[in-house]
Every structure is written in structure tokens, then in C-alpha cells.
Amino acid sequence: MSPSRTLGTSEDYFNMRQSNLFGKTLREAPKDETTINAKLLIRAGFINKLTAGVYTYLPLGWRVIRKIENIIREEMEKVGGQELVMPVLHPKESWQITDRWDTVDVLFKLEGWESKELALGPTHEEVVTPLVKKHIQTYKDLPLYLFQIQTKFRKEKRAKSGLIRNREFLMKDLYSFHKSEADLDEYYEKMKEVYWRIFKKVGIGNETYLTFASGGTFSKFSHEFQTPAEAGEDVIYICQECRQAINQEIRPEVKNCPNCQAKQFKETKAIEVGNIFKLKTKFSESFDLYFVDKHGTKGLVQMGCYGIGLGRLMGTIVEVFHDDKGIIWPKAVAPFSAHLLQLGNESKIKAAAEKLYGRLKKQGVEVLFDDRQDKTPGEKFADADLIGIPLRVVVSEKSLAQKSFEFKNRNEKKIELVPVDKSLTRIKS
């Protein structure tokens, strides 16, 4: 056992010695990956491909997902969302009731027990609607907002674009239930604001466009949140006046911006990072989901659904924030806040780095400590740039000669010497 490879303490969730970290960086991206997000996330040790469109989240990647998850959960709870988790295995009968068993071509189907047929859930209207039916009787039970963060499945013909279109993926889906269309409309508008808050918090707020898309049978438009990126599979037209956009799919019918009526658009490839949709009574009709109003009259429940793919969001962030050396994580979703690099194995350098690491641990700062003894400074710098933690702190003979550590933000070129005794405060700020 190498000396540093001791069993951890619970502090080690927040901190990690790179000599222990599972997930080595690679010099080259796998040849079968063509998108920036897949190349960088695999090279930097965030994800690993099991088969096309199916990825393992390695420890670094899982930390990012959990940060995204927490941001989303907090925002869902702020607008009254109650968290539950519905199953992956869906009975065929539920999908027959909505006539979607034969029409949704991305359904993975399988044989269960006693020749029962099942699908792997790609979405959960078929489960949540009958579930809610068991619990709703009158207007007093409405509105109701249920969400889950759960694994979904789509039998895509082609899975490409790294984390952008997967066959197995983590998704937040919220379903809202209302006694009137006016109430649905109000919540839908509130959800737009919630989605903006989420995209701002994870760092892509300025890069994302509210996009008008097809509303399906019951609504004129639905809204997507689209982020321009080379790996995008959608094409959107960004209004040059109001910064809203329209999806190519409705471009033939929609000539003017639905928001400001302007006619000038810029075409771009984009990734759909979120989608909000008024289902209205489509599913409550299928499942006879009624409520009784104040006057004793029966009415159909109005529904909305609101989705965000967590892995796709992670992939999009990488598409937006990177340079030719690697990823540049926004602070809120970075796997660690600081990357501490020990350059050289001399006892003085080691002692200074270990001391700083110990103090950061105690203070609850999330730090990845590159304590690897068999790596050159060049390799450590390259890995730090590739992994993309926002702040790099270097402990070296050169820095210690000036009683300092060397600070560099991943998104800046400037290198700064910070006196040893001021480093802790600086890192925490």
C-alpha cells in the first residue's frame, strides 16, 4: 500500500488526494467520440462509455451531477415541488391507455414475469397520472406539484453527441396538476422563471435562449431552453431584437418572433437543456383524472410537465465552457473548488502542501490535492487544465522561496503569488 493510500475519513468526500482518485486522465480522446463534451469528459476522467449512449459517471463526474441535482432540487422545492421516485418498469397496460405503446418508437420493451410486457420509462405521464388519481378528489387537493430525479431510457436509433443524447439518462421531471387552465398558465410562467434561475446558477444563463417550439395537440407553443453549441441536435433561430428564439420545427409557420414580432434571426445549432410543456387535459382524459370543484361540479384536471436532463446539462456546460486545454467549470458545479498542486517531492514542499491541504479539509473547502509523486510539473499542470477546477493553487520550491503559493484561476491567464499566511482566507473567499 502506498503511504498516502490510507483509508479515508468522512472528510474525504469533500476532499480527495489525486493519488487515490479513481479515473485517470487520458492523453487522447477515444476515436469514436466526436463531440467536445464526450472527448473532454472522458479524457478528464468524468465519465466512461459502457456502450453507445450508455455511460458510467466516475467519481469526478458524479460530483458534478450531484451539484446540478442539488441546485435543481432546491429550485423545485421553492415552488412547492414534492419529491418522489416512480419506477423504471412500466406495465404495457398503462401505455395502451394513452395509445402510446405502439406510437412512441423510443420505448424499450421487454418481457417480464408470467408473460407480462413492460416498458422502461422514457417519461412518466403514464405512471404519475393514475397515481395522482388515487389521491385527488376535490379542488382542495389542487394544485399539486410532484417531481423526481430518476433514470430514464430511450431506445434511440443513434446515440451520439456524448452526454447530449443518451439511451440511459438522469432526468428531473416535474408534473403539475391544476383545477383550471388559468392556474396552469400561472404556474407555467413561474416555472419559466425557475428554469432561468437554474440555468443562471449552473452558469449557462447568458448562453441560453427561451425558444418557442411545437405545442403538440393542445397548446400553440411549448417552450424549450436552448443553448447554442456545436454538439447541438436542434436548429434554432435567435431573434436579434429580444434574444428569444424559435425552433426550426415551427419555422415554416412562424415568420415573426412570437415575442416581439421582429423578423431578423440568427440560425444556430443548439442543445435543448430544458423543456416546459402544458399537457392540459391530454392525460387526465386518458386516465379519467377528475376533481370536484367548489360547486360540486366535476372537471378534468389540468396538467403541465417540466423536464431537465442532468447529464445533458453537464455535457452542455462543457460544450460552452472549455478551451483547447480542457474544461473550465463554473464554480457552482465544479467537482472541487480548488485544485492544490504539489510540485516536487522534497520534504519542505510536501510539508507545506500537506499543511495547506489539512487546513482546507478542516475548513470544509472542497479541494482536490495533486499529491502524486510520479508526475512531472508539466503533467500536473496539463491535468489541472484538463479537469478544469476553477482555482489552481501551486506549492513549489519557487513559490516557497517567496513564502507564497501560486494562485491561478482556470478562466484567467494571470498568475499571482499569495503569501502563505493569506492563502487560506483567499481560497475560502
Give residues 98-157 in contact with a second copy (rule: CB under 8 A).
108-113, 116, 120, 127, 131-132, 134-135, 139-140, 142-144, 146, 151, 153, 155-157
Whole-number Å distance between alpha carbons of 25 and 286: 50
CA-wise closest residue to 369 among 334, 401, 337: 337
Q: Say how far apart CA 53 and CA 9 lie, in whole Å.
A: 35
Give the nearest distance from C-beta 392 to a second copy in angstroms.
Answer: 22
Of positions 12, 233, 267, 293, contacts a second copy by CB under 8 A: 12
85 and 131 in contact (C-beta within 8 Å)?
A: no
Residue from the set 43, 67, 167, 322 that interacts with a second copy by CB under 8 A: 167
Least distance between a second copy and beta carbon 59 (Å) = 4
* Binds a second copy (CB under 8 A): choice among 59, 215, 258, 344: 59
Would you state the torsion angle of the CA atoms of residues 52, 56, 58, 61, taken in this order, to the nearest 10 degrees? 70
Q: Taking CB under 8 A as the criterion, which residues in 363-392 touch a second copy? A: 374
Which residues, in sequence order, are CB contacts of 266 under 8 Å at separation 6+?
237, 238, 240
Nine-digit cell string for 291 = 376533481
Regarding 79 and contact with a second copy (CB under 8 A), the answer is yes
* Listed ranges 19-27, 301-309, 359-367, 410-418: which one lies at the site for a second copy (CB under 8 A): 19-27
Nearer to a second copy, 135 or 403 (CB): 135
Q: In this chain, which stretch among 6-14, 32-40, 284-292, 299-307 interacts with a second copy, using CB under 8 A?
A: 6-14
Using CB under 8 A, pick the residue from 37, 39, 125, 168 that binds a second copy: 168
In the complex, the smallest distance separating the C-beta of residue 362 from a second copy, rounded to whole angstroms, is 17
Residue of 8, 358, 364, 377 that binds a second copy (CB under 8 A)? 8
What are the φ/ψ torsions at residue 151 (nearest 5 degrees)? Answer: -85, 130
9 binds a second copy (CB under 8 A): yes
Q: What whole-number distance in Å separates Cα of residue 175 and Cα of residue 98?
A: 17
Q: What is the dihedral of CA 200, 201, 204, 208, to 10 degrees?
A: -30
Shortest approach of a second copy to residue 160 CB, angstroms?
Answer: 12
- Residues that bind a second copy (rule: CB under 8 A) add up to a total of 78
Report the nearest approach of a second copy to the CB of residue 305 (Å): 16
DSSP state letter for 413: -
182 binds a second copy (CB under 8 A): no
Q: Among 80-88, 218-226, 326-334, 391-399, which window interacts with a second copy (CB under 8 A)?
A: 80-88
Question: Which of 54, 182, 262, 415 contacts a second copy by CB under 8 A?
Answer: 54
- Applying the rule CB under 8 A, the residues between 183 and 202 that interact with a second copy are 183, 190
Does 82 participate in binding a second copy (rule CB under 8 A)?
yes
**Is residue 355 within 8 Å of residue 387, measured between CB atoms?**
no
Amino acid at site 205: G
The residue among 23 and 304 lying less far from a second copy, judged by its C-beta, is 23
In this chain, which stretch among 49-57, 229-237, 339-347, 390-398 interacts with a second copy, using CB under 8 A?
49-57
**Cα torsion angle, 344, 345, 348, 349, sign:** positive
**Number of other residues whose CB lies within 10 A of the CB of residue 292:** 16
Q: What single DSSP character describes residue 207?
A: G
Among 52, 182, 262, 351, the residue binding a second copy under the rule CB under 8 A is 52
Distance in Å, CB of 144 to a second copy, minimum: 6
* Binder of a second copy out of 29, 62, 98, 332 (CB under 8 A): 62
Per-residue three-class SS string for 273-340: EEEEEEEECHHHHHCCCEEECCCCCEEECEEEEEEEEHHHHHHHHHHHCEECCEECCCHHHCCCCEEE
Question: Cα–Cα distance between 29 and 36 in angstroms, integer?
Answer: 10
Which segment (1-9, 224-232, 255-263, 416-424) binds a second copy by CB under 8 A?
1-9
User: Nearest-CA neighbor of 194 among 299, 283, 71, 295?
Assistant: 71
Least distance from a second copy to the Cβ atom of residue 181, Å? 14
Q: Let me know: does 262 contact 256? Beta carbons within 8 Å.
A: yes
CB atoms closer than 10 angstroms to residue 53: 21
The verdict on 307 binding a second copy (CB under 8 A) reads no
Smaller CB separation from a second copy, 179 or 282: 179
The answer to whether 362 contacts a second copy (rule: CB under 8 A) is: no
